[in-house]
Amino acid sequence: MGANVVAYTLTEGHSNNRPPFFNVPTKTSIEGVVTPKEESKWNDEDKKKVELNAKAINMLHCAISFEEYRKVSRCKTAKEFCDKLQVTHDMLRKEYEMFIMKEGETIDEMSERFSIIINSLDAMGMIHTEQVLLRKILRSLTKE
The tens place of each residue's pLDDT in the chain, 144 residues long, gives 444 444 444 444 444 444 444 557 888 888 988 888 888 888 898 888 888 888 888 888 888 877 778 888 888 888 888 899 889 889 999 999 999 999 899 989 999 999 999 988 887 788 889 999 999 988 888 655
The model's pTM is 0.57
Q: Distance between CA 127 and CA 76 in Å, rounded?
A: 30
Q: If we measure between CA atoms, which residue out of 140, 102, 84, 94 comes closest to residue 121?
A: 94
Pairing relationship of beta strands 26-28 and 34-36 according to DSSP bridges: antiparallel
* Burial of residue 133 (number of CB atoms within 10 Å: 0-12, 13-18, 19+): middle
Q: Distance between CA 48 and CA 127 in Å, rounded?
A: 38
Identify the pLDDT of residue 3: 44
Count CB-CB contacts under 10 A for residue 70: 10
